Amino acid sequence: MTVALRTLLDRSLKKMGKGMNPVVKASALEMVECAYTERITVQISAGHRSLEEQAALYGQGRVYSYNGKNYSNLAKHIVTNAKPGQSYHNYGLAIDFFIVSDDGKMAIWTVDSKWQRVAAIGKGLGFKWGGDWSSFKDYPHLEMTGGLSFTQLQAGKEPHLTFKLEKMEVPKTGKGDGHIISIQKTLNSRYITNIEADGFYGPKTRSALIKGLQTELNKQYNKKLIVDGKWGPKTKTATVTLKKGAAGNITWILQAALYMEGFNPGSLDGEFGGKTEAALFQYQKASKISSDKLAGQETWNELLDRV
Ligand SMILES: [Zn+2]
């Protein structure tokens, strides 16, 4: 059974704690709710963090003391570069999120198309996303700074933030991913799939990828599949196994599908090189299927068998 929205909101509220900026808190809940209407179950894992909590976090993987207290914790890995006062979490202006399984029981940390969609919703509500940072990407992190620096915040200034209510407009106003737009355009011109090039991955784009694959399997391998854009046992059985060195339109479809799942195959050039192999390997590991660096039936099925 799918977890109730109320449960996700309650857990998120608890994790954000007291001391949140009200606009940030409301926007976080709005994001959870908005994602839920798209059948994406997401939870907030952190919100306000005291200076002592920040010190404990900074101490992970380091020798560190703060205000005369030892926070060194070398048993753990470094998780942040922000010292106390240097994170917007310390001012109740940042949140972290993660995806949960449909039943709400399991945390899923894979940065895939769902994850990116939640980030896009958050950005539509006025958050800046840690996944957009050029160095040290922080994929769960969203913040609203109101243009204030840590120095200004430490001096007691409060940001002026406004809660954005354009909930239904998010998919239209939120800018889609440029690479996805170009994949959608290529699918339309190459396979006459007629999908909207909006930069978001969804069932229609997935179906267009399947159509492309069916078309290529018929053309190149004489498979006689019905080109219906639906994933079924016949299409699965007809797939061919690709490995490093392969090239052509089927490799391009593989690259596109990997990119949609959030695994960057390098350039979408139809050439199965080292970057595509690395992306495939990461995807296989993340999906818990055989990590053999071969795009065979199991991988094609994992990439394209969705309802
Ligand atoms: Zn964060």
Residue 138 C-alpha to ligand 1 middle, in angstroms?
A: 7
CA of 51 to the centre of ligand 1 (A): 14
Domain boundary among 173, 200, 220: 173
What local confidence, expressed as pLDDT, does residue 180 receive? 86
CA 245 – ligand 1 centroid, Å: 40
Instruction: Write down how long the chain is.
Output: 307
In three-state form (DSSP H/G/I as H, E/B as E, the rest C), the secondary structure along 11-41 is HHHHHHCCCCCHHHHHHHHHHHHHHHHCCCC
Give residue-wise pLDDT tens across range 96-135.
999 999 999 999 999 999 999 999 999 998 999 999 998 8
In a domain, 66, yes or no: no
DSSP per residue, 265-290: -SS-SSB--HHHHHHHHHHHHHHTS-
Residue 215 Cα to ligand 1 midpoint, Å, equals: 44
Residues 133 and 222 in one domain: no
Q: Is 25 exposed, middle or buried (0-12, 13-18, 19+ CB in 10 A)?
A: buried
Coil, helix or strand at residue 75: coil
Question: How far away, in angstroms, is 139 Cα from ligand 1 center?
Answer: 8
Structure confidence at residue 173 (pLDDT): 36
Mark whether 165 and 31 lie in a shared domain: yes
- The helix (run of H) or strand (run of E) holding residue 304 is helix 297-304
- The confidence score (pLDDT) of residue 166 equals 41
Residue that is last in its domain, among 114, 141, 173: 173
* Residue-level pLDDT at 165: 52
Query: Residue 94 sits in which domain range?
Result: 5-49+87-173
123/42 same-domain check = yes
pLDDT at 171: 39
CATH number at residue 182: 1.10.101.10
**pLDDT score of 73:** 96
Single out the residue of 262, 195, 206, 249 nearest to residue 231, CA to CA. 206
* 213 and 231 assigned to the same domain: yes
Distance CA 71, CA 87 (A): 17
- Whether residues 233 and 163 share a domain: the answer is no
Q: What is the pLDDT of residues 246-275, one digit of tens each?
A: 999 999 999 999 988 777 888 899 999 999
Per-10-residue mean pLDDT, the chain, length 307: 90 92 87 91 96 96 96 93 95 97 95 95 94 90 93 86 54 63 91 89 90 96 96 96 95 93 84 93 82 96 83
